Amino acid sequence: MAKLLPTVLLAPALMVTTLLFSQTQAVSPALAGTCASRCGPKPLQFTPGQRLSVEVVNQTASLVQFQKVFGTDPIPMRPGQELKFAQGGGTEPNISVYFWDETALPLQAKLSQPNPKTLRIEIRPGGRPPGDRSVYLLNDGRVAIF
């Protein structure tokens, strides 16, 4: 019986310790939620190889240079000016465009998809230096800002 006494006393002591420890810890239940309540906007997606209409708008107060890689020399865009061009379809490479402020201020690109075959790029002031500098349509149809 003397051998069983430590075991008999140990079991209730462990049980009491467990109960006390679990009550002193702040236990918060896990809450399940949908992505719709916390995730950002749906990423832009285009069908690879489809012909797109691209709209670029200068929403800054200064001159912005815009260049379509493998397509144009730098084009100066006045404040409020909008450029439109078609891209894709056939063997044209993916779209890649660069832009920069003439006064070296950081820029921010805001992308939208007003309809399934239109990419709209609004160039705005702001962001951390050096800011956004390019937009690239990836091979899988996603759009990235660099």
Q: Where are the beta strands (DSSP E) in the chain?
A: 52-58, 64-68, 75-77, 82-87, 96-101, 107-115, 118-125, 134-137, 143-145
Domain spans of the chain, in order of start: 52-145
User: Structure pTM?
Assistant: 0.70
> What dotted CATH number matches 52-145?
2.60.40
Of 59, 62, 143, the C-alpha closest to 97 is 143
pLDDT greater than 90 at residue 42: no
**pLDDT the model gives residue 112:** 95
**Quick one: pLDDT band at residue 28, thresholds 50, 70, 90?**
very low
